[in-house]
Amino acid sequence: MYVMKCSLGEEFTQGKINRYGKIELSPSSGVLNYGQGLYEGLKAYRKTDGSILLFRPEENARRLQTGAERMCMPSPSVDQFVDAVKQAVQANRRWVPPPGKGSLYIRPLLIGSGPILGLAPSPEYTFMTYTSPVGNYFKEGSAPLNLVVAEEFHRATPGGTGGIKSITNYAPVLKPQTDAKSKGFSDVLYLDSVNKRYLEEVSSCNIFVVKGNTISTPATLGTILSGVTRKSIIEIARGYGYQVEERLVSVDELMDADEVFCTGTAVVVAQVGSVTYGGRRFEYGTGAATVSQRLHSTLTGIQTGLLEDKMGWTVEID
């Protein structure tokens, strides 16, 4: 794993590759006591010729910088971030699965590692990047997801940290997610906390609704994470001539949608077979002849090098 440190008020300079293993933290470290931490997620893919591709790592770097500013943390530069990711993948390249068998998940972490008993920014920060080979995120594999709308819980509030990848955003969704899975659902779809009627996102991925030639997705207005996969799918869809709208999407629009799908680094593009809301189950089109499948095929083709990357999104690792 790649590790780099710096003190508050300074800049990150030079990191190094260490063996993957336990890290030492003070019991009073900022991340343990106050949740001062961010993470990112991206993947490396093996091409048929054996070389390895990254997908838009500079987007993750910029998102980390945005989150770090909100959390009063120094952050690596874009070049430092991308270099750290490259070094981590290079050191673990034997773990990158063969084409079609998965990918190497990359987890950059930025944490307040220094001791701070009072509520204040940590005096020291650690940026690390580790990896793991992965397959499908959901146990359903490529089967359509069955979501349930959360009516009691909310993922984020205006003015909070829902729009950044703070570590504090994720533990609170475990309770509703566990409850949903115990009832046979794949995951939870959250509504806004003010009006309780506009779609926000699923526990760890963005949501899209398809009606005719129009693809709608909730606008990122501070409570929704601006996903790299989300951004890429929007650009691909517009390139195919679909009308893509980033706006407030009412939960009522689920009732007559043609398709619903999720996007994210982990899930890529996942078709939604049904959404249950207010005790009613709404079903959607799935399968090979869908908009989501067309977008999925194009995205994964670019990510794995099977399609020409006309967007300049991929980065090859030597």
Residues catalogued as catalytic: 165
CA distance 94 to 296: 26
Q: Is 227 exposed, middle or buried (0-12, 13-18, 19+ CB in 10 A)?
A: buried
Q: Torsion-angle region of residue 89: left (phi > 0), alpha (psi -120 to 50) or beta? A: alpha
- Rounded-to-integer distance, Cα 252 and Cα 197, Å: 8
Amino acid identity at 149:
V
User: Alpha-carbon distance 150 to 154, whole Å?
Assistant: 7
In the chain, the amino acid numbered 25 is L
User: Which pair of structure tokens corresponds to residue 293?
Assistant: 């499948």
Q: Which residues pair with 263 in a beta bridge?
A: 206, 269
Strand pairing report for 145-149 and 16-17: unpaired
| Structure letter (DSSP) for residue 262 | E
Strands (E), 181-278: 187-191, 199-202, 206-211, 214-218, 243-247, 259-264, 268-277
- Measured CA to CA, the distance from residue 24 to residue 197 in angstroms comes to 44
DSSP tally for the chain: helices H, then strands E: 6, 17
What's the CA gap between 270 and 206, in Å, rounded? 10
Q: CA torsion 52→56→57→59, rounded to 10°? A: 180
Distance CA 114, CA 29 (A): 5
DSSP string, 144-169: PEEEEE-SS--S--TTSSTTTTBGGG
